[in-house]
Chains A and B, each alone.
Chain A
């Protein structure tokens, strides 16, 4: 469903180096790695928010690397995206934030919009929050509104950038369970980036690990947990001594 072929990207220094990765349809894929290893950049490359310096990017078999902003609209409609900093629009209420992607898809039936928004808010356990302003929510609530917005279009692919960063352990586990349940119910392809490895691995089908801009591991969750690669082993088990 999602494919990167030899993708490289640099800002001030190199961020991704020759990354090749496939995410099969319907898979819940977890991408891990230490801070600043290029995980968020990889997500933004997939939807064309950033352009790679080299390599190709394919979505459902279609090469989207060189599409312009207007052609990308069509591709992005297949995606839902939860941003690391929530990215809730502060000029809209919670309800309007969730309805925003639907309105942009051309849905104008107000009753239908209200119904869809209420259904999403219920799914993230925030019923009745429609009229709130995003500025007054707690971090966990903002994340959940972000999840509601990312999933409201019932997109084929959903990308989650650090869905649990900065949350307490209980809220964090609840978010992961919520995302896994959403994925099972919708049958979507999910690519999830997180530094919270322990919780992430409880829900993933496959795992990839980025280290210094390179993909050093790609396999099933079981394979990952049993990996003998020194970096992967140290990172997944949180050992203080090792190459990292």
Chain B
């Protein structure tokens, strides 16, 4: 054939800096549109869809089993680190550590328990969801679902979404407790603060509880939607699955950090100290 070398076959020159920026912005915009599509369909099917009994429960077990050991270890260490570090600093400014436990508890309830646990879950659960769904995309199982008239969001994302809404809250409360008691032990052994002094809920008020609860729900909703979207947009073979998993970890961690910024900011304005 004479028309072998068509002009479009040649590799295009790499885009310049400005064009690169423009392409980046376009990519970001397209990602945003896709993500909100997945989010909308997730909410729609959560309300309208029918599910076989036990599907959500199995995902709850999956999320919980997979993560409880991991979150307990990491959050336990975080509790110890935070109390040790802040104890050292506080001793430079004030002679006694009476209020350390109360302040720590307030910080846990308002922010640390939810945000740090969610970061761990973004890594654990988010990567797991993207790896599973991504593998199904490259083996064409997602196409097969669509051929049978099943929305993959309904079948794959929604059960994980509902399970995550419940289990994220449960795991956050559990991990917060582990972290607090690890901190309590550290305070006792390193600084001689009696557990009864440390266990002081005086500073925790309704605003703190409401902020913490909002974060539980927001993170629980965001992680499966973001990582489900990453999994569904997998492209290519085993390398594609690896990519999707990577993107899920980064994007859902980023979602947690950005949500934290907005919720914390709003709570600071709504419940001024």
The count of residues in chain A whose C-beta lies closer than 8 Å to any C-beta of chain B is 29
Digit string of A2-16 for contact with B (CB within 8 Å is 1, else 0)?
000000000001100
Bound together, the chains give a CA A49 to CA B256 distance in angstroms of: 32
Q: Kindly provide the distance from the CB of A48 to the nearest chain B CB, expressed in whole angstroms.
A: 8
Which of B140, B144, B151 is the most central at the interface, judged by chain A CB atoms within 10 Å of its CB? B144
Contact surface of A with B, Cβ cutoff 8 Å: 13-14, 44, 47, 49, 69, 73, 76-77, 79, 81, 83-90, 100-101, 104-105, 211-212, 216, 230-231, 243
B148 touches A87 (CB 8 A): no
A211 touches B1 (CB 8 A): yes
Bound together, the chains give a CA A212 to CA B2 distance in angstroms of: 12
A231 touches B8 (CB 8 A): no
Contact surface of B with A, Cβ cutoff 8 Å: 1, 4, 6, 8-9, 138-141, 143-151
B144: which of A69, A89, A212 is its contact (CB, 8 Å)?
Answer: A89
A89 touches B141 (CB 8 A): yes
Select from chain A the residue with minimum beta-carbon distance to B11. Answer: A13
Q: Which 8 A-B pairs have the closest CB atoms?
A: A87-B140, A73-B149, A87-B144, A83-B140, A104-B148, A101-B148, A81-B147, A85-B140
7 residue pairs of the A-B complex, CB under 8 angstroms, read A44-B143, A47-B147, A49-B143, A73-B149, A79-B147, A100-B148, A216-B1
With A83-B144, A104-B148, A243-B1 already in contact, 18 other A-B pairs whose C-beta atoms are closer than 8 Å: A14-B6, A49-B143, A49-B147, A69-B146, A76-B148, A76-B149, A81-B144, A84-B140, A85-B140, A87-B140, A87-B144, A89-B141, A89-B144, A90-B141, A101-B147, A104-B149, A216-B1, A231-B1
A69 touches B143 (CB 8 A): no
Number of A-B residue pairs having CB atoms within 8 Å of each other in the complex: 56
Bound together, the chains give a CA A211 to CA B138 distance in angstroms of: 25
B139 touches A212 (CB 8 A): no
Select from chain A the residue with minimum beta-carbon distance to B237. Answer: A85
B150 touches A104 (CB 8 A): yes
Given the interface pairs A231-B1, A243-B1, the reply to whether A69 lies near B140 with Cβ below 8 Å is no
Bound together, the chains give a CA A100 to CA B150 distance in angstroms of: 10
B9 touches A13 (CB 8 A): yes
A83: which of B4, B9, B143 is its contact (CB, 8 Å)?
Answer: B143
Bound together, the chains give a CA A85 to CA B145 distance in angstroms of: 14
Given the interface pairs A49-B147, A69-B151, A104-B148, the reply to whether A87 lies near B8 with Cβ below 8 Å is no
B146 touches A49 (CB 8 A): yes
Which residues from chain A contact B1 at a C-beta distance below 8 Å? 211-212, 216, 230-231, 243
Select from chain B the residue with minimum beta-carbon distance to A211. Answer: B1
B141 touches A87 (CB 8 A): yes
Which residues from chain A contact B146 at a C-beta distance below 8 Å? 49, 69, 76
Bound together, the chains give a CA A9 to CA B143 distance in angstroms of: 18
Bound together, the chains give a CA A25 to CA B145 distance in angstroms of: 26
B139: which of A87, A100, A105 is its contact (CB, 8 Å)?
Answer: A87
Bound together, the chains give a CA A104 to CA B148 distance in angstroms of: 6
A77: which of B139, B141, B143, B149 is its contact (CB, 8 Å)?
Answer: B149
Which residues from chain B contact A216 at a C-beta distance below 8 Å? 1
Q: Kindly provide the distance from the CB of B36 to the nearest chain A CB, expressed in whole angstroms.
A: 16
Which residues from chain A contact B6 at a C-beta distance below 8 Å? 14, 212
Bound together, the chains give a CA A148 to CA B141 distance in angstroms of: 16
Bound together, the chains give a CA A49 to CA B152 distance in angstroms of: 12
Q: Kindly provide the distance from the CB of A83 to the nearest chain B CB, expressed in whole angstroms.
A: 4
Which residues from chain A contact B149 at a C-beta distance below 8 Å? 73, 76-77, 104-105
B141: which of A88, A104, A105, A230 is its contact (CB, 8 Å)?
Answer: A88
Given the interface pairs A77-B149, A100-B148, the reply to whether A14 lies near B139 with Cβ below 8 Å is no
Q: Kindly provide the distance from the CB of A211 to the nearest chain B CB, expressed in whole angstroms.
A: 7
Q: Kindly provide the distance from the CB of B30 to the nearest chain A CB, expressed in whole angstroms.
A: 14
